[in-house]
Amino acid sequence: MYRIVRKKVLNSSVIMMDIEAPYVARKAQAGQFIILRADSEGERIPLTVAGYDREEGTVKIIFQTVGASTMKLGALSEGDFIPDFAGPLGRATETEGLKKVAVVGGGVGCAIALPVAEKLHSEGCEVHSIIGFRNRDLVILEDEFRACSDKLIMVTDDGSYGEKGVVTSPLKALIDSGEKYDRIIAIGPLVMMKFVVATAKPYGIPTVVSMNPIMIDGTGMCGGCRLTVGGKTKFACVDGPEFDGYLVDFDEAMERSTMYHSHEAAEREKVCNLFKQN
């Protein structure tokens, strides 16, 4: 059993938790993920490691309450326990030798981008972070990004905070102004990552994206998280979750991501009704 040491609500739908998991904390790296279950009969939920404290033995997770399982997880309190917390899984972010990197995060994907930016910063890399949200009320982790970024640009779709627009606009402006990036790392909604890649491609800047498809076991056995990368089938859980953005078939990934929407909606409704009854 794994104890919830801390819980913090970041906005109306995003929650941060520190989970007591010393064996996971001991080996976790930026870019990796864990798989947990909110209860003994729950489905497996893959969540990226949003941070860790090796001395305290805790792992930070940040999640959006969009489905039945994340709603159950979000309903738990500090001091409660979750039955399963397996990891770290996947490959860690490769940062060796990078001198200047643009980290681009969108929405709750910023929770995944933050530890990457922090790792780069700790290694002496110049970090330019661009983080985007739909509106001011959904902004998360601004202070944390500011602490590890040499340059931080905030973007909102409606202009209620920071620059108005999408993350690709300031990214292109920075490149056109003469910024020379060793790499761009994009983490967020599939459509956002697709257009970040499209923005970077004319300049030939290597671009890495973090993929989070449907996942079940996290070991490559089920094949649920398969992607087409460079014309070959890859598994996000063992080959990723980070891939060369130029090679990812985003259209296929977006089509597969909608396969279970009706089922997810039905399960969410069941949980909502259960909470209402209680």
CATH number of the domain bearing residue 62: 2.40.30.10
pLDDT at 41: 82
**DSSP letters along 16-83, please?**
EEEEE-HHHHHH--TT-EEEEESSTTSPPEEEE--EEETTTTEEEEEEE--SHHHHHHHT--TT-EES
Mean pLDDT over residues 150-157, rounded? 96
pLDDT at 216: 79
List, in sequence order, the alpha helices (H) in 178-243. Answer: 190-200, 236-239
Q: pTM of the predicted model, to two decimals?
A: 0.87
Tell me the residue range of the domain where 153 lies: 100-210
- How does the average pLDDT of the chain come out, rounded? 90
Residue in the structure block whose two tokens are 């805790």? 58
Position 252 in a domain: no
**Residues 9 and 58 both lie in one domain:** yes
Instruction: Kindly report, residue by residue over 185-209, the tens digit of the pLDDT.
Output: 999 999 999 999 999 999 999 999 9
Poorest-confidence range of 14-28, 90-104, 205-219? Answer: 205-219
Position 246 in a domain: no
**Residues 118 and 147 both lie in one domain:** yes
**Residues 179 and 79 both lie in one domain:** no
Mean pLDDT over residues 100-110, rounded? 95
Q: Which of 65, 89, 113 is the last residue before a domain boundary?
A: 89
pLDDT at 43: 85
CATH number (domain holding residue 138): 3.40.50.80
270 has a pLDDT exceeding 60 = no
Position 36 in a domain: yes
Position 115 in a domain: yes
Total domains in the chain come to 2
pLDDT at 275: 52
Q: Which of 89, 121, 152 is the last residue before a domain boundary?
A: 89
pLDDT at 146: 96
* Distance separating alpha carbons of residues 273 and 277, to the nearest angstrom: 6
**Residues 146 and 169 both lie in one domain:** yes
pLDDT at 215: 78
